[in-house]
């Protein structure tokens, strides 16, 4: 019962944490915040845990552990509910677009007129392996469901239930689309609150058998039931907790733990490993979305359906391999090191799976179609749109017939449109004609141009390699954890796990990963030095 309850708590926590990572792009668009601030928000998800984790690990082992876990689950659920509150406090999402009036008219956008032509509990070492593998596998399955939940919510419009969906002119593939990010937090918070219920009814400690039963006994005979005929039990008496004595022993106990060289080396190795793993899990969906031109919903779906299950399978398989071959501490260390080395070596092949930049007029290519790679604001203007007096603060992309994306219909030189809503097509686009081999009255449609052909061919290989490397690296997860447990004294296990969690979440967190990712992703922000507009400023992301 305790194992089932603990697995469910691990699942709910992992689901909440991974859902946060799946909403990174949605939050950036909705609240117009930079990537480094998103990293701080993601890191703050663990701040409350980090402040007390070392003390809880030490004192929790001496107090009523199930109830302490229950309190933690309740607090975590309240925090998850709070994450959704900005949606209800702020107003409705306003799309920064050139289609603003209730009649979907594009008139009066700028002095360049656009005229519409239509009105349309660990025990012994052997028994601990299956339990550890089970809990860690469940903890990895949680992120899979978190990303699947993120995929589902990303398909729903952010203000669903408050606006008429027929009036929404953008699709999930549009760079301005924001999904119902808040809905997932409410669901994750409810699941986390449910996970606290079983712990309130568990005893402080489980009954301990006085005599080991025969291995041939049926499962019904080996249940932990008081006065069971299968075995005699001894209920541990609940001794009153002496907080003064525990406080006095805390520092010597901590000194004894940190004096273990094997533990310190393991701590340093896992911190380095967590740096890469957490950064990968956090930003891989965003990388897939921006680099390979996939929607946020599809990127989260792929993470939840393909990548994360491979990690869960690797964790479970690692526990099975360690149990089958009876690996000792040295064998577990060699196995974990070998799998990590092989997995990271395979990751180097990602460097050969790049894509060419998206063609955006005035940013990656000039208005004549030649490579430009200029990120100056004035490069957005050309002779073809010089008389339109367009705004450079607006990201309202359109795709020209020539395969080039333009920042807005105005900057594309379009002067008229036909159709309504998502079916609107812009005509008489001077800049589209200027970049074409055969100049004509070319048109442009709403949204960015589709991904490049070479990306469509490379993307399946990228996902296959990602799954393989993730599986191989995760094979060493369970042996690595057992190495942690076996290299320390039994009475120090709880504190050791707590210090390990504190170190990996503090030094292995992704806050400093964010700025690196932002610098690599050639992000050009328009209007950051100008006065604010009626809607949030948009970002042009070119990878």
Which of 434, 440, 393 has its CA nearest to residue 412?
434
Render each residue's pLDDT in the chain as its tens digit; 543 residues.
777 888 888 888 888 888 888 888 788 888 877 766 776 777 666 666 666 666 666 666 566 778 888 888 888 899 889 988 988 888 787 765 433 333 333 333 333 433 333 333 444 444 455 555 566 667 677 888 888 898 899 888 888 878 777 777 777 777 778 888 999 999 999 999 998 888 888 776 655 554 444 444 444 333 433 344 444 444 444 455 556 666 677 778 888 888 888 888 888 888 887 777 777 777 788 788 878 878 778 888 888 888 878 888 888 888 888 888 888 888 888 898 899 899 889 988 988 887 777 788 888 788 776 665 555 555 778 888 877 778 777 777 888 888 888 888 888 888 888 877 667 888 888 888 766 666 555 788 877 787 666 677 888 899 999 999 989 988 888 888 788 778 878 778 777 877 887 777 777 555 555 555 555 544 444 333 333 333 333 444 434
CA distance 436 to 415: 18
CA distances from 21 to 15, 32, 40, 503 (A): 10, 17, 12, 20
Residues 326, 328, 329, 334, Cα dihedral to 10°: -70
- Phi-psi map region of 421: left, alpha, beta (phi>0 left; psi -120 to 50 alpha): left
Is 226 in contact with 100 (CB distance < 8 Å)? no
pLDDT, residue 183, reads 92
Degrees, nearest 5: CA angle 477-480-483: 155
Degrees, nearest 5: CA angle 489-490-494: 105
Is 388 in contact with 410 (CB distance < 8 Å)? yes
CA distance 24 to 283: 8
Is 238 strand, coil or helix? coil
CA distances from 514 to 279, 320, 331, 507, 523 (A): 8, 36, 36, 14, 13
Residues 130, 131, 133, 135, Cα dihedral to 10°: 160
Class of domain 2-120+128-201+242-354+453-509: mainly alpha
DSSP letters of 121-187? ---SHHHHHHHHHHHHHHHHHHHHHHHHHHHHHHHSBTTBTTB-GGG----TTSTT--B-HHHHHHH
What does pTM read for this prediction? 0.63
pLDDT, residue 534, reads 35
Is 208 strand, coil or helix? strand
Q: 355-369 burial by CB neighbour count: b if 16+ within 10 A, else e? A: bebbbbbbbbbbbeb
Is 369 in contact with 375 (CB distance < 8 Å)? no
DSSP secondary structure letter of residue 372: -
Degrees, nearest 5: CA angle 291-458-450: 50
CA distance 408 to 114: 12
Q: 215-248 burial by CB neighbour count: b if 16+ within 10 A, else e? A: eeeeeeeeeeeeebeebeeeeeeeeeeeeeebee
Domain map (residue ranges) of the chain: 2-120+128-201+242-354+453-509
Degrees, nearest 5: CA angle 209-197-60: 60
Q: 152-179 burial by CB neighbour count: b if 16+ within 10 A, else e? A: bbbbbbbbeeeeeeeebbbeeebbbbbb
DSSP letters of 251-312? HHHHHHHHT-HHHHHHHHHHHHHHHHHHHHHHHHHHHHHHHS---HHHHHHHIIIIIHHHHH
């Amino acid at each position: 019962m305790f194992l089932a309850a603990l697995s469910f708590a691990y699942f709910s926590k992992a689901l909440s944490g991974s859902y946060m990572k799946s909403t990174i792009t949605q939050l950036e668009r909705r609240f117009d915040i930079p990537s480094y601030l998103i990293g701080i928000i993601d890191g703050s998800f663990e701040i409350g845990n980090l402040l007390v984790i070392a003390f809880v690990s030490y004192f929790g082992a001496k107090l009523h552990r199930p109830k302490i876990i229950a309190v933690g689950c309740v607090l975590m659920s309240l925090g998850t509910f709070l994450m959704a509150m900005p949606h209800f406090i702020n107003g409705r999402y306003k799309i920064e677009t050139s289609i603003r009036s209730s009649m979907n008219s594009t008139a009066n956008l700028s002095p360049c007129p656009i005229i519409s032509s239509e009105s349309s509990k660990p025990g012994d070492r052997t028994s601990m392996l299956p339990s550890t593998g089970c809990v860690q596998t469940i903890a990895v399955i949680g992120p899979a469901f978190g990303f699947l939940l993120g995929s589902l919510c990303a398909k729903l419009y952010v203000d669903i239930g408050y606006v008429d969906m027929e009036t929404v002119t953008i699709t999930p593939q549009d760079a301005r689309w924001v999904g119902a990010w808040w809905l997932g937090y409410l669901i994750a918070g409810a699941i986390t609150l449910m996970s606290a219920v079983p712990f309130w009814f568990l005893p402080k400690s489980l009954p301990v058998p006085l005599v080991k039963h025969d291995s041939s006994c049926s499962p019904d005979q080996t249940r932990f039931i008081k006065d069971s005929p299968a075995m005699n039990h001894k209920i541990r008496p609940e001794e009153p907790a002496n907080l003064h004595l525990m406080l006095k022993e805390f520092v010597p106990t901590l000194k004894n733990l940190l004096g273990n060289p094997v533990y310190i080396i393991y701590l340093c190795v896992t911190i380095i490993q967590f740096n890469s793993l957490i950064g990968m899990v956090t930003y891989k969906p965003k990388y897939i979305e921006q680099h390979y031109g996939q929607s946020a919903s599809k990127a989260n779906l792929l993470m939840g359906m393909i990548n994360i299950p491979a990690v869960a399978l690797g964790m479970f398989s690692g526990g099975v391999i360690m149990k089958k071959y009876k690996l000792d501490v040295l064998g577990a260390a060699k196995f974990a090191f070998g799998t990590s080395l092989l997995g990271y070596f395979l990751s180097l092949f990602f460097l050969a799976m790049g894509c060419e930049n998206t063609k955006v007029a005035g940013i990656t290519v000039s208005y004549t179609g030649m490579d430009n790679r200029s990120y100056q604001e004035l490069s957005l203007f050309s002779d073809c749109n010089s008389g339109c007096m367009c705004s450079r603060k607006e990201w309202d992309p359109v795709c020209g017939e020539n395969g080039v994306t333009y920042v807005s219909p105005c900057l594309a030189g379009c002067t008229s449109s036909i159709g309504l809503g998502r079916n609107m097509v812009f005509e008489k686009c001077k800049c589209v004609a200027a970049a074409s081999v055969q100049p004509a009255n070319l048109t442009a449609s709403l949204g960015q141009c589709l991904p490049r052909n070479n990306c469509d061919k490379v993307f399946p290989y990228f996902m296959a390699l990602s799954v393989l490397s993730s599986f191989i690296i995760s094979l060493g997860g369970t042996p690595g954890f057992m190495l942690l447990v076996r290299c320390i004294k039994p009475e120090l296990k709880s504190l050791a796990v707590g210090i390990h969690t504190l170190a990996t979440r503090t030094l292995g967190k992704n806050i400093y990963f964010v700025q690196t990712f932002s610098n690599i992703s050639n992000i050009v922000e328009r209007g950051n030095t100008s006065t604010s507009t009626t809607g949030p400023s948009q970002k042009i992301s070119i990878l």
